[in-house]
Structure 1
Amino acid sequence: MERSAGNLGGGISDDGTTGAQTNEAADLDLIWQKICSGLRRDLGAQIFGQWIKPIKLSHFVVSEGELHLSLPSEFAANWVRDRYADRLLLAWKAHHPDIAAIIFAAKAGSAQIAKVKKTNSAEMSDQNSTEQRNRFRLDLDPRMTFEEFIPGNSNVLALNAAQRTAAEEKPLFSPLYLQSSTGQGKTHLMHAIGHAYHEVFPTSKIVYMSAERFMIEFVSAMRRNEAMEFKASLRDADLLMIDDIQFIVGKISTQEEFLHTIDTLISQGKRVVVAADRPPQALDGVDQRLLSRLSMGLVADIQSAGLELRRDILQHRLASMPHQQVSEDVVEFLARTISRNLRELEGGLNKLLAYAQLTGREISKELAEEQLSDILSACRRRITIDEIQRTVCEYYRLERNEMSSKRRARAVARPRQVAMYLAKVMTPRSYPEIGRKFGGRDHSTVIHAVKLVEQLRGEDSEMDNDVRMLLRQLES
């Protein structure tokens, strides 16, 4: 991070920056160096150098508590915002409690924080009403809208409930409790609710924060003897959304405040949305009264995304980037292999696109396997050849010994070839190893089977459907 220039005394520098502003800039510069030191250690030199090091401090709006950071491209700004926004905000607040939000921008950053914007009370009076009520809306990701949320069987209940929560007509339930494992879309739905609600009620006050941020700001307010102001700010919300509520467990004073806030808002007909990675009853260390409030509305569960939904999400993402050429076999490979959560799926695609863009290499299945090895190894379920053979025999109604027999009748040979194909696609075994599991067959027989099935999938819809069904059964 380049040092802030300017007069360090009390006068005005050549660029119009006061000494106090320059000192503020220097302080923020030192804080950023400390944060960077921790991130370099935690993230590793490669990730830090690629994504964090290019960040520049742009400016700090004191009256709003907004720290603006700039990155060299929209892609980089979105990447850092998606993965490190909360982490960066918490790190900055630990050093500088006045920072309430971090704004990421895709533009060349200033070499210094030239101006620390201050606004006196007279200047605030003309815009206070609208800006203060919409301040928290700045934390919403502009890309996380209902239009960008891909529906599927696993999320249809949560999606419909979220849309109802954001509609002009008051929902029949409150609070809305969104539950899913990590990376299945509950945070996306919360941002979408905020955007849609603002469209319906432009002057409404929308508050969105993580439970961790809720606790930090509450404790910080108590230390500053500003607990009443903090409570009043939350209870003035028209829409309150708290993410990752599971992290509020065990904090008695924070739970008390959260309970009273929910009670106040619900009694006033306001809307409350919370999200967690488990149902209310599974939240250990939570006051029973709070559990009762969280359960009294609608608990909408988001199941793990199936193969079809994962494929649809990748295709939708690529449709917005027509200049990026990604073949169907790469899409199929990513959708089938990265199955733990959707955040990893999109993250894997982004990493692949970024690498190809920076190096000029063509995006292929081989490149995906090379660059996404860490994600793929974590996501792959250890499917065995024995499991594949058993599943194929059940599907085609064959005896298990037919996988190793010498019979060449098509009714036996074709399922055996499908099993060899699946063994190559779904396991790390080599051609010779696969051949040995199929009655000691030569590796060339396995290669022939794999190529034949690949060809038939493109020519025969029934064969393609059989393989898809078997893939789905094995992956589940």
Structure 2
Amino acid sequence: MLGAQSAARSSAFAANDDRTERDPAWEGVTQRLRSEYGEDVFTSWFTRIVLDRVDDGIAYLTVPTRFLKSWIQAHYADRIAAVFAEANPEVRTVSIGVRVASPKLAAPSRDSVIAAPVPDATRFLDFPAPQPAAVSFGQRIEANRLSGSPLDKRLTFDTFLSGRSNALAYAAARQIADARPGDPVTFNPLVIHSAVGLGKTHLLQATAHAAEASGRRVTYLTAEKFMFDFVAALRAQTALAFKERLRAIDVLIIDDLQFLQGKTVQQEFGHTLNALLDGRQQVIIAADRAPAELEAIDERLRSRLAGGLTLEMGGLDEELRQKILDVRVAAARLAHPKFDPPAEVVAYVARTVTANGRDLDGAINRLIAHNTLTGAPITVEMAETALRDLVRQVEPKRVKIEEIQRIVARHYQVSRADILSSRRTQTVVRPRQVAMYLSKQLTLRSLPEIGRRFGGRDHTTVLHAVRKIDDLVKRDGALFDEVELLKRMLLE
């Protein structure tokens, strides 16, 4: 199906959108460009170029949008001119214009000519601004999709609470948000990562609100919505329009990048990211871990992300938790005027509920429920009972799956590549199963995620390994000691 679509696009490309008869030299140019740049680049940038005519040594080419014209002029015009001059010696120069939505194509002006790279013949000037093209119903739907994911009006900088754990991320986001159109881009891309419930989405949406208020064009998308919109555009055969509109914005904000799946979708996001970064447009991305640890993401995309500024939002310190609770209690009083927890109760919650902001919200809701539904006074004893499962006496160290694989491999004297490989010898299978078992025990990763980190294995393979090692450590004292030793090494 993809091959047929590609062939159809190439045919339309060579046939000049039925505006002129087939030009053998132009067909040769298209094939040469396809072979030089590859199918992905060719499909993204060249398929909607139309040869209007060759007149007096000038090949007049047109594209549907000003963005596409600007991009081709900046990145590919020299090569197109050179290849066309080789294919047809009569062609001395190439002119690129924007076609209008009328039956008769307006002729590009002579002063927009891009000459082939021959002595004293290269010029780069602009066309007059084109008239607005007619927009189809399908294009209107696509434009609506690109309005982005909905923003929560409550998630602004005014309601974002900053502390030691998130101060640097907050400062970087604020600097980006306060910039004006045309200001130089300082941190690009900005990648913010943290565990769940620590304020990534709040910070991103606050940045989107503030950047829009400064007059910039902002699109906020979750990775899931980006995937949905791109697949929908492919099905509607409006993928190029989708890409052009996305790349024409000033600030692109992507949340939950770890959920971006599919080779084609990741490649397209990579092309979009490159286009925006090359155009000095701001990109902000949030994920649950640093780019280097996003093993499900394409390696080239991870590398490009790592070239920007990567900041971690750490766990909430007690002072910040206290500030969050004070705000939550004040908001709760508006709905429940009789809700008035003593200061020592709020301090107890701030001291003992340490996981994330959502747990703090849950703690306030439980205190309200116990107080309003049963009439029980709000005391430290009542809070201890109500919040038992939210209290963590000691916050565990964050252990990475890559660290588990490295330490287990070293202990069993195999390589990490062996653990990730498909080898089934006992000297490799046992370390692999132990590493999977420890990954389940010491991290919050799901079975499918652990499987992906172990060479793309199915979650049932991980489950089998976890159950097998769990059973063996109960019967094999030597293995029990080995696993406990590895745990101590990882948690130190």
Which TM bucket (shorter chain)?
A: 0.3 to 0.5
Q: Which protein is bigger by CA-based radius of gyration?
A: 2
Q: TM-score, normalised by structure 2?
A: 0.47
Q: TM-score, normalised by structure 1?
A: 0.48
